[in-house]
Structure 1
């Protein structure tokens, strides 16, 4: 279980998160909804260690941990970014295999074998040798998910997973996220779409702007 206690985060004197408390059960899907400026993405970035909380405590399975600690060899949290952030000069296979080689120090044979398994799982095998510019938005998103999963995180975070896609792909994204539950991973989804949030969520967190 992931637990956040009294998490506070401010930017330039403006408080975005104020003593936030949250528990996310193992293998659950948490949807975080709320208007722009309410702190959805800030919360996700703090959980992922991309921003350091000003105060508060994170625990995972009862043990304290610092999401921003880059010295840990174990990747607790993975992120699928809104604009995917794929490397344009690398093939799909190389995009997925690179981080395990660089960060986890896997040899190329091991990392590529694991990457191919993930591509097969996400129905991307036929795109392994293509480059990002050759892919559709939905395919890019699946590559981004495969790349995050390659680091074997316990928790996978998504920042607005439907915003860059055609509305017709929303149900496919929901099915993909729900399907990943079978792998045992915990997922946290930030979204502006309340209907999508409810469709996938085991837990729903609505954040609101802090009154000044």
Structure 2
């Protein structure tokens, strides 16, 4: 279970997050919904360790963690970025293998085996030897999810996973997230799309921009 207690984050004199409290049970989906500038992505970055909160606590299974200083091999939280942040010079298979080899110290054979399983699971098995630029937007997103899953996180976070996707791809993302939920994956989804959130969420957190 993930818990956030009194998370506050400022940029200069502007308060972006003001004593945010939330909890996420194992195997559930939390959607954080709000307009641009409401602090959705900042909250995600604090949870994932990309930003350090000014105050508050982050707990996993009752134990306080500091995602910023947590070693990668001990990290329980994975992130799928809106822009995917794939390595353009690496093939699809290599994108997935890189972190398990470098961070988790897996052998090349072990990392490859796991990567192939993930590609099959996400319907990308025939794309293993392609480069990211040869993939569609939906395929890039699935690759980004496969790369995050390769680190075996306990909680997976997404920043605007349906942004700029057509309805068919939007439904595919919904099915993928619900499929991961059925396997016990806890997920946090930052989105401005309330309809999408209502289709997948066990819990919805609405955030609003604080008055300056």
Q: Provide TM-score, normalisation by structure 2.
A: 0.97
In the TM superposition, what are the counterparts of 1:10-159 in structure 2 within 5 Å? 10-71=10-71, 73-159=73-159
Paired residues of 1:156 and 1:185 also in contact (CA < 8 A)? yes
Aligned residue for 1:3?
A: 3
Paired residues of 2:72 and 2:103 also in contact (CA < 8 A)? no
State the Cα distance separating 1:167 from its structure 2 match. Answer: 3.5
Instruction: Tell me the SS of whatever aligns to 2:116.
Output: helix
State the Cα distance separating 1:72 from its structure 2 match. Answer: 5.3
State the Cα distance separating 1:184 from its structure 2 match. Answer: 1.1
State the Cα distance separating 1:12 from its structure 2 match. Answer: 1.5
Aligned residue for 1:200?
A: 200
Paired residues of 1:51 and 1:68 also in contact (CA < 8 A)? yes
CA offset digits 1:76-103 (Å, max 9, x no partner): 1100000111111111100001000011
Paired residues of 2:8 and 2:54 also in contact (CA < 8 A)? yes
State the Cα distance separating 1:70 from its structure 2 match. Answer: 3.6
User: After TM superposition, which residue ranges in structure 1, 4 or more long, deviate above 4 angstroms?
Assistant: none
CA distance in 2, matches of 1:109, 1:168: 35
State the Cα distance separating 1:182 from its structure 2 match. Answer: 2.2
State the Cα distance separating 1:60 from its structure 2 match. Answer: 0.5
CA distance in 2, matches of 1:149, 1:71: 17
State the Cα distance separating 1:211 from its structure 2 match. Answer: 2.4
Paired residues of 2:30 and 2:189 also in contact (CA < 8 A)? yes
State the Cα distance separating 1:164 from its structure 2 match. Answer: 3.6
Aligned residue for 2:175?
A: 175
User: Please, which runs of 5 or more residues in structure 1 have no aligned partner?
Assistant: none
Instruction: Tell me the SS of whatever aligns to 1:184.
Output: coil
CA distance in 1, matches of 2:129, 2:143: 12
Paired residues of 2:158 and 2:189 also in contact (CA < 8 A)? yes
User: Please, which runs of 5 or more residues in structure 2 have no aligned partner?
Assistant: none
Instruction: Tell me the SS of whatever aligns to 1:187.
Output: strand
Instruction: Tell me the SS of whatever aligns to 1:73.
Output: helix
CA distance in 2, matches of 1:100, 1:203: 31
Paired residues of 1:9 and 1:55 also in contact (CA < 8 A)? yes
Paired residues of 1:82 and 1:164 also in contact (CA < 8 A)? no
Instruction: Tell me the SS of whatever aligns to 2:87.
Output: coil
Q: Provide TM-score, normalisation by structure 1.
A: 0.97
State the Cα distance separating 1:166 from its structure 2 match. Answer: 2.6
Instruction: Tell me the SS of whatever aligns to 1:53.
Output: coil
